[in-house]
Amino acid sequence: MIDIDIALEKVLNRAKINDNVRVPILESLGFVIAEEIYANDTIPPFDKSAMDGYAVKYIDTIGSTKVDPNLLNLVGEVPAGHPSDYQLKSGEALKIMTGAPIPKGADAVLRKERAHLKGNQIEVLVEVSKGKDICPAGEDVEKGELIFSPGTKITPAVVGMLATLGYDEVTVYRQPEVAILATGDELVDINDDLKAGKIRNSNTYSIAAQVKTYGGKPKILGIGRDKLTKLKEKIKLSLESDILITTGGVSVGEYDLIQDVYKELGIDILFKKVAMKPGKPVTFGVYNDKPVFGLPGNPAAAMVGFEIFVRPTLLKLMGQQDLKFKRVTAKLKESVEKKKGRRHYLRTILTRKDNENFVSKAGTQGSGVLHTFANANSLAVVPKDIEYLAKGSEVEVLTLDKWF
């Protein structure tokens, strides 16, 4: 049995970042920029008003108060999108709207509510300083500035920045396609009859949902039956995808054929047993540089195997730099007992009270119990060589925040 951290290192060492594609910016959300993005313009391109009010010379407001206001002549207006050619002179004001270009001669904006309109004049109720309520040109971005480097994750604000900078498309690392094959003679699909000895195939759907959660594109290959030739044929078809996942058939049963199939197809197996629970029989291989994961059939084991090994692989292919889980330390709300030798990932509920994190089991921890996972929001880590943790002990917890 290989140690989890060593196993993960082997996986990530073999995972290669994807090639890149150009996509419309709205389709780039969640992906990673694969080019340098420079500003072709200064943003904002002109000094603009931050408030609705009056463009003035600040000097004309000096000494002005509510009780003894200075008077300025109103000589016109500047709406947003309509620059004025007027050269403001001393003793004058121009009505100005938020976002409108500051006219020549003006050096401050007096907010509407800080002036009194009296016919063709305004009373200045307060002094304003030079530059007051003006957003200077280049406040956001200077022309020629490097704005984003390869590796930047595209968030809603990044999409907005790309639009501001005039990019309608952006180059990103290509979305990985992840082929998923569930194996087992006992499996039927969602709408099929549950005849004796049969169970519904849930792995295909939970794993495909995990793939989507982390930004991949699932390719569902359906159910493969426990026959070497049939499995070989199905798997062969899917070796074009960026990642291949099979579930089931990796333990030591007579019909657990996955490892034989991998070998016959020329998939180089790097490990087939990991010191973790659930997920001990997680198998990892490489075919033409493509990662191949044989996840266990047990639904919770398959999903934990995905989170620990496939998730960071998928993120790496997508060009992401931070492959780690968000982790917190939390106090156990109950004691935990286990055998030495494997690191356990408990399906848990993480809560916060009075500035402290607490964690409790989401239910029974059998590798086949999926319901518990559906109630969980985190995985608490119980180290390999620990046998007992008392209530109140501190544990490391991986948050599944991307699920929510």
Task: Give Cβ neighbours of residue 236 (< 8 Å, ≥ 6 apart).
Answer: 265
Joined together, the tokens standing for residue 136 give 């200077």
Phi and psi, residue 49, nearest 5°:
-75, 135
- For ligand LQZAQKY5, the binding residues in 286-305 under the rule CB under 6 A are 296-299, 301
249 vs 279, which CB is nearer to ligand MOO? 279
Which of the ranges 44-52, 170-178, 245-253, 382-390 carries the binding residues for ligand LQZAQKY5, by CB under 6 A? 245-253
Is position 182 an interface residue for ligand LQZAQKY5 (rule: CB under 6 A)?
yes
Is position 256 an interface residue for ligand LQZAQKY5 (rule: CB under 6 A)?
yes
Q: Among residues 249, 285, 312, 319, which is the contact residue for ligand LQZAQKY5, using CB under 6 A? A: 249
Cα separation, 376 vs 391, in Å, equals 19
Q: Name the site residues for ligand MOO (rule: CB under 6 A).
A: 277-280, 296, 298, 301, 367
Joined together, the tokens standing for residue 251 give 């333990």
**Residue 317-356 contact track with ligand LQZAQKY5, rule CB under 6 A, x = bound:** ----------------------------------------
Q: Give which of ligand LQZAQKY5, ligand MOO, none residue 122 binds (C-beta under 5 to 8 Å, depending on kind).
A: none
Contact 345, 380 (CB under 8 A): yes
Q: Among residues 42, 202, 213, 360, which is the contact residue for ligand LQZAQKY5, using CB under 6 A? A: 202
Q: Give which of ligand LQZAQKY5, ligand MOO, none residue 252 binds (C-beta under 5 to 8 Å, depending on kind).
A: ligand LQZAQKY5
Tell me which long-range contacts 357-362 makes (C-beta under 8 A, separation of at least 24): 357/328, 357/329, 357/330, 357/331, 357/397, 358/330, 358/331, 358/332, 358/333, 359/330, 359/331, 359/332, 359/333, 359/395, 359/397, 360/332, 360/333, 360/334, 361/334, 361/336
Cα separation, 218 vs 209, in Å, equals 8
Is position 179 an interface residue for ligand LQZAQKY5 (rule: CB under 6 A)?
no
Q: Identify the CA nearest to 172 among candidates 32, 294, 273.
A: 32
Q: Among residues 176, 218, 224, 248, which is the contact residue for ligand LQZAQKY5, using CB under 6 A? A: 248
| Nearest distance from C-beta of residue 209 to ligand LQZAQKY5, angstroms | 13
Joined together, the tokens standing for residue 394 give 């501190």
Q: Give which of ligand LQZAQKY5, ligand MOO, none residue 202 binds (C-beta under 5 to 8 Å, depending on kind).
A: ligand LQZAQKY5
146 vs 252, which CB is nearer to ligand LQZAQKY5? 252
Q: Among residues 61, 210, 367, 399, which is the contact residue for ligand LQZAQKY5, using CB under 6 A? A: 367
Which of the ranges 250-258, 309-317, 324-332, 371-379 carries the binding residues for ligand LQZAQKY5, by CB under 6 A? 250-258
Q: Among residues 49, 64, 201, 320, which is the contact residue for ligand LQZAQKY5, using CB under 6 A? A: 201
What is the amino acid identity at position 11? V
Q: Among residues 62, 117, 163, 199, which is the contact residue for ligand LQZAQKY5, using CB under 6 A? A: 199
